[in-house]
């Protein structure tokens, strides 16, 4: 016997889209206006070279969720996830390369642990991106996604 798990109806997903739009908008204000990234004591001036990409990520998140409010078929949601995850990966890679953090003379080795955590996130997000891209490809080519796959 097999069963499928359909996605919840669009009306039940809409509040999540609105919340995502609001969270991204708040983050844009916090990073760029008040209090601004400059207010964070352990961020260096090199952060400016990362902020643009972070802003792109937040704006894309807003745009994707606005689109979802209008229409959100499974393939479009999967495409949005692939796009936003790819941008997230770009942000993480930029953070690793620039490493705009200065933890001063802390007795704890924050540099090491933050770098380790960033590399872990890069690897995890890259794996997730590959899986999401495969899921999108599967949905587009077969009309089926993992969510629709029969369960034993």
Per-residue pLDDT tens over the stretch 99-114: 999 998 888 999 999 9
State the pLDDT at residue 12. Answer: 84
Structure tokens at 119: 């590399």
Structure tokens at 132: 């999401």
Per-residue pLDDT tens over the stretch 70-124: 999 999 999 999 999 999 999 999 999 999 999 988 889 999 999 999 999 999 9
Contact 58, 44 (CB under 8 A): no
State the pLDDT at residue 7. Answer: 65
pLDDT level of residue 65 (50, 70, 90 thresholds): very high
The yes-or-no verdict on residue 13 having pLDDT over 50 is yes
pLDDT level of residue 1 (50, 70, 90 thresholds): very low
Contacts 24+ apart (CB under 8 A), 59-64: 59/24, 59/28, 60/84, 60/87, 61/20, 61/21, 61/24, 62/20, 62/21, 62/24, 62/25
The yes-or-no verdict on residue 138 having pLDDT over 90 is yes
Contact 149, 4 (CB under 8 A): yes
State the pLDDT at residue 3. Answer: 52
Structure tokens at 149: 């796959």
State the pLDDT at residue 143. Answer: 76
State the pLDDT at residue 2. Answer: 46
pLDDT level of residue 145 (50, 70, 90 thresholds): low
H/E run at residue 93: helix 74-98
Q: How far is CA 38 from CA 25, 42, 101, in A?
A: 18, 9, 12
Largest pairwise CA distance in the chain: 62
């Amino acid at each position: 016997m097999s069963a499928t798990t359909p996605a919840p109806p669009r009306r039940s997903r809409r509040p999540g889209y609105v919340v995502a739009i609001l969270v991204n908008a708040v983050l844009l204000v916090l990073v760029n206006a008040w209090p601004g990234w400059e207010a964070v004591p352990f961020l260096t001036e090199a952060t400016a070279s990362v902020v643009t990409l972070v802003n792109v990520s937040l704006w894309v998140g807003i745009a994707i969720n606005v689109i979802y409010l209008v229409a959100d078929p499974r393939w479009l949601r999967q495409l949005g996830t692939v796009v936003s995850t790819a941008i997230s990966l770009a942000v993480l890679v930029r953070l690793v390369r620039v490493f705009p953090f200065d933890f001063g003379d802390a007795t704890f080795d924050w540099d090491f642990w933050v770098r380790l955590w960033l590399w872990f996130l890069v690897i995890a997000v890259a794996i997730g991106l590959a899986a999401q891209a495969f899921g999108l490809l599967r949905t587009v080519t077969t009309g089926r996604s993992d969510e629709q796959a029969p369960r034993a």
